[in-house]
């Protein structure tokens, strides 16, 4: 069976993608946690897209996989595209959902405002509890702090520039939910149009959080895409 590596979003973990994995058939679905997420140890250096990509490459080598398909949600999709750009021999196809491609200083400032641990504890205690449970034994507050640093670095120097996508020949499926308030249609279209071998899909009744995605529609699109 074709291996499909599932890459989660920032401050998320592999378990969030399991409901979708359960709806896909005929593939070897491989869940993966980035360092600092899902209880996995933090790296010695800073969190970064490059760091996460290197972790995926090491995992592919460990598993003795020649090539993988990738489904990346949000930040996971960005890592998938980064791998397709810099290590195309390892990526057969890449599908992304709700991936924010456009990063600059104002964008990073806006996104990092939502990662204030103290405010999360007060305003959405249930979310704070879920973060604590999802990333234990790591301190979820440290994860948020280090993620803020990563996003600020991306805002200062976007790891993937718009012109980089023109050189990614890997077959790609770029997906966005019609209710997503974090990722714009404009940035998604820009990347789709820049990619030489891509298709795009808009998912109905789908917000940014993966838990609110239309998993039936998403599974249908992925089954069609990865079957090629």
For the stretch 113-127, pLDDT in tens is 999 999 999 999 999
Across 190-201, average pLDDT: 98
Topology, domain 2-102+159-226: Rossmann fold (3.40.50)
Separation between Cα atoms, residue 121 and residue 7, nearest integer Å: 26
Separation between Cα atoms, residue 163 and residue 223, nearest integer Å: 29
Q: What secondary structure does DSSP assign to 73-113, as a single string?
A: ETHHHHHHHHHHHH-GGGEEEEEEES------HHHHHHHHG
- Cα angle 18-173-101, degrees, rounded to a multiple of 5: 90
**What tokens does 38 get?**
């899902």
% of the chain surpassing 70 pLDDT: 100
Q: Are 69 and 93 in contact (CB under 8 A)?
A: yes
Separation between Cα atoms, residue 6 and residue 4, nearest integer Å: 6
Cis amide bond preceding 137, omega within 30: yes
**What digits encode the pLDDT tens for the residues 48-102?**
999 999 999 999 999 999 999 999 999 999 999 999 999 999 999 999 999 999 9
Separation between Cα atoms, residue 135 and residue 106, nearest integer Å: 28
* For residue 141, pLDDT beyond 80: yes
* Cα 186 versus chain centre, distance: 19
Q: Are 37 and 135 in contact (CB under 8 A)?
A: yes
- pTM, two decimal places: 0.97
State the pLDDT at residue 226: 94
């Amino acid at each position: 069976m074709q291996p499909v590596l599932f890459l989660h979003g920032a401050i998320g973990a592999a378990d969030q993608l399991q409901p979708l994995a359960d709806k896909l058939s005929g593939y070897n679905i491989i869940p993966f946690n980035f360092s600092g997420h899902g209880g996995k140890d933090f790296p010695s250096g800073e969190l970064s897209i490059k760091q996460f990509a290197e972790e995926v490459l090491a995992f592919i080598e460990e598993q003795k996989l020649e090539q993988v398909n990738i489904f990346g949600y949000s930040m996971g999709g960005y890592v998938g595209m980064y791998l397709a750009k810099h290590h195309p021999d390892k990526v057969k196809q890449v599908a992304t959902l709700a991936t924010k491609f456009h990063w600059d200083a104002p964008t990073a400032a806006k996104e990092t405002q939502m990662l204030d641990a103290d405010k999360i504890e007060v305003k959405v205690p249930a979310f704070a509890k879920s973060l604590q449970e999802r990333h234990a034994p790591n301190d979820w507050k440290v994860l948020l702090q280090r993620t803020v640093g990563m996003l600020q670095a991306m805002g200062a120097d976007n790891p993937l520039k718009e012109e980089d996508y023109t050189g990614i020949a890997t077959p790609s499926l770029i997906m966005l939910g019609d209710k997503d308030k974090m990722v714009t249609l404009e940035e998604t279209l820009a990347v789709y149009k820049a990619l030489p071998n891509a298709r795009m899909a808009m998912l109905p009744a789908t917000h940014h959080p993966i838990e609110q995605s239309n998993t039936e529609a998403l599974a249908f699109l992925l089954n069609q895409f990865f079957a090629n």
